[in-house]
Structure 1
């Protein structure tokens, strides 16, 4: 697919874009408050997976607090964003599924964990948390003769998206629940930025065509002179919503953006680029700071074992 065809594909996305949107101020929690939240989260997580996670070795670093728990489990909260990661300590090839369960069953397990953790109860006014996507992580192999072994389901990942007054908060999954066989919790990640309730200011939302022009210019600059054949495909079309920066970055405001995830195949390498442009005349977020991790043109190799179903 060439750049023009890709732009036509993105332009076909159906977006419900408001004329204007509030730029929201975010709460900034102290380290003590984040650690108290983590303790409550560990208590709820222990009850959800029938394990004792109340006791552990706590270590406070400049950017995060790490908790080492029994049986190889651990948890971490990032001070800049309040993001939390809980890992149960399972080895990668432990607790593999004996049979591949249906999408409905796996989704129900993920939703059950979110409900048991009380995440819906902790949402603020106008906030919702909705299931977005299910991923299956599978493993397979072949013998010396080339005969392939049927794929085995290792883990299922349910991703959930935070919405504020109906507008999705784009970026990393707001909640990601990774499940092993028999409904055992393998890991859980959470990154939800909480508005303070104050509107910083109202801003006019730009038409999607403005965003498409910027994305097209960036793609042309990046791949226009590439040697060899380059295949460009859109994964989810053009998306609109507030943007949450990565977990290691602090953030004072929530502002709307347009986002496109582009899959790029070149030679033997396949990558995904997340491209983000402001949806307002004024840019409220550091989308491309020199020397910092950038959401514009951010790359990452696509995992060979992870599949969406």
Structure 2
């Protein structure tokens, strides 16, 4: 049984005894969602999220006082982290741990089980961002195992425009032999399209492939797609952000919460939903954590194809 100590609660998670605190603190004032509910969401979604986190260095965005308060990015292992929390030290500028001096190396946490996840979420880590590559058992970075196309709508565009672009991206990826694709509404403005990568491919090659795709799509659909990040080019269009495949970049992990006004989630979707979202009169919306949990109960994990 959990043991209470003031505002702290001691629980046993995955064989570890953890102290969680401030469970009644409101993290999302618009929906009155508490920290306890956030912890509960992550515990319930852990069976499908943990394989997607894999052995990936985890960058967190923390909101200690809820989403209406200040936030900060955290790459390094948290101060006071327990010795059992898994970790990996890599270069802050690339994937080669020996390529830079010691001052440029960062020790990141890994999230391998529910205890690791609970510890970080208890620190108000609402968002979990990861690379497209994992590390081996010795902590050495591997080649990327997935490609991601981030579809970011400019002002005047939204999920309908992103859906249209996603439906153009999918057959292009399939023509490259990337037949396992998963669309994910980001929980923010846009969406991502992931593709599992068969075999070994250097990160620079995958980044170049994504950039080429973005440039070709811009040429074919100049009315809706842009590959350059220049803000003046983006109103009414969708940025096909190839740069998320750069080795040092991270992307929101599927099933992560977002630090928005309400507890929206980076949610895997079906291609049928994307087709409906692209149609006139169709609707595709960002999903709240209650929606995601209900969909998991009904449909299971829609991102299983990305698990390696």
TM-score, length of structure 2 as denominator length: 0.27
More strand by share: 1
TM-score, length of structure 1 as denominator length: 0.27
More helix by share: 2
Structure showing greater Rg: 1
